[in-house]
Structure 1
Amino acid sequence: MTIFGTPIETIYLVLLIVAGSLTILYILFGDLLHGIGEALGFLHPVLVLSFITFFSASGYIFEKVTPLSSFLIMAISAIISLILVILLNVFVLIPLSSAEESLSYTEDSLKGRVGKLIISIPENGFGEVVIDSKSGMISKPSASYDNIAIEEGKQVLIIEVKDGVLYVVPYENNRLYNEELGATTDATP
């Protein structure tokens, strides 16, 4: 079969190369065009481009391998690509979009959490705290809330967050160290 004097195999191959390239480019640089696919979730650009890619790939293969008519091959290719796009959406895109939302955190959500110093904090200086979370490790600059030195490896409690810096106090086994009293007090009320 020919369309506009061009063999259908050539059209399938050109569609495959163009749609495949655009799909890869959209996956790599899609954040620049993030809002385009938000209005209609089922018409997400990755899904549309993937449909064209799967359609053209299966159409090209069937045209080369089988003696079926071109119209039947188009119908089979459309069904195959529809099934693959539905699977891609259900098992890849939807879980990825929900995972992106669950990985985020706000600086205010760090208040009250316990972390570990990986770089000691000198008196009136800065160090670094690592916080273990469900999404991985969070490493943030830190300073002592009471302007005292805190050694590397100590557990600390995050009291305040200002300008991206965590202000912390030493924390050991549910007890806070009180510098003024020189003793530990229970952290629980």
Structure 2
Amino acid sequence: MVLFGTPIETIYLTTLIIAGVLTLLFLLFGDIFEGIGDVFGFINPILILAFLTFGSASGFIFESLTMLDSILILIISILIGLLLVSLVNVFLLIPMSTAEESLGYTEESLKGRVGKVIISIPEDGFGEVLIESKVGKISKPAAGYENQAIQEGKQVLILNVDKGVLFVEAYEVKDFG
């Protein structure tokens, strides 16, 4: 089949190359275009590019390897593109969008937590405290809350955080048993 004076295989291949290059560019520089999906709501550029890539690839393969009618190949390619894009959306994009973005923490979330002194905190000075959680360990500079010295290995309670420095006091777990 010839469309606009060009063989349909050439149109499929050109679309595949352009969509592939645009997908690669979007992956590399996607942060620049991040707001596009927010402006148009349901339209996701990755899904459109994936549809064009899958559809043109399947169209090119069917045109090259089968003797089916070009209209039937176009319909099959559109259906394959829609199916694969739906699978990508359901199994990749939606789970990734709902996943936690970071294992980070806020300074406010550290208040009230218990840590362990790994570098002694001198009077009127700084040491270091290690805070362990289920997702990892955080090591932060620390000072005594009332400028008291705290020895290495002691457990401390974080009372305040200011400019990345933990203000702590010694903490002992009382056994009521």
TM bucket normalised to smaller: 0.7 to 0.9
- Between 16-25 and 34-43, the greater mean CA deviation after superposition: 34-43
Distance 1:43 1:103 in 2: 29
Secondary structure of the 2:72 match is helix
Q: Which residue of the partner structure matches residue 107 of structure 1? A: 107
AA aligned to 1:22 is L
Provide structure 1 residue ranges, at least 5 long, that are not aligned to the other structure. Answer: 176-184
Provide the C-alpha distance between the structure 1 equivalents of 2:153 and 2:33, rounded to a whole number of angstroms: 43
Matched, 1:34 2:14: no
SS in 2 for 1:160: strand
Distance 1:101 1:139 in 2: 21
Which whole-Å CA distance do the structure 1 matches of 2:117 and 2:20 have between them?
A: 47
Q: Please tell me the residue identity of whatever aligns with 1:29.
A: F
TM-score, reference length from structure 1: 0.76
Please state if 1:43 is matched with 2:60: no
Conserved 8 A contact 2:121-2:143: yes
State the 1:17 CA deviation.
Answer: 1.7
**How far off its partner does 1:121 sit?**
4.0
* Separation in structure 1 between the aligned mates of residue 117 and residue 2 of structure 2, nearest angstrom: 69
- Which has the higher relative contact order, 1 or 2, with Cα contacts under 8 A spaced 6 or more apart? 2
Q: Give the distance between the partners of 2:4 and 2:49, measured in 1 at CA.
A: 23
Q: Quote the sequence identity (%).
A: 60
Q: 2: CA distance between counterparts of 1:25 and 1:115?
A: 44
Q: Could you tell me which residue of structure 2 aligns to residue 90 of structure 1? A: 90
Is residue 16–residue 53 contact of structure 2 (8 Å, CA) maintained in 1?
Answer: yes
C-alpha offsets along residues 2-48 of structure 1, whole Å, 9 cap, x if unaligned?
Answer: 22222211221121122122222222322222221024453111111
Cα 1:139/1:82, change in 2 over 3 Å: farther
In the TM superposition, 1:153-164 aligns within 5 A as 154-164=154-164
Q: Aligned AA for 1:17?
A: I
- Displacement of 1:49 after TM fit? 0.8
TM-score normalised by the chain length of structure 2: 0.80
- Cα shift at 1:119: 5.0
Which amino acid letter does the alignment assign opposite residue 4 of structure 1?
A: F
Structure 2 distance, partners of 1:118, 1:126, is 8
* More strand, by proportion: 1
In the alignment, the residues of structure 2 paired with residue 153 and residue 14 of structure 1 have an alpha-carbon distance, to the nearest angstrom, of: 65
Deviation at 1:142, TM superposition (A): 3.5
- Tell me the secondary structure at the aligned position of residue 30 of structure 2: helix
1:60 partnered with 2:53: no
Mean Cα displacement is larger for which, 99-108 or 2-11?
A: 99-108
User: CA 1:114/1:33 → structure 2, altered by over 3 Å: closer, same or farther?
Assistant: farther
| Partners of 1:129 and 1:142 within 8 A in 2 | no
How many residues were matched structurally? 175
**Alignment check: 8 A CA contact 1:156 1:169 kept:** yes
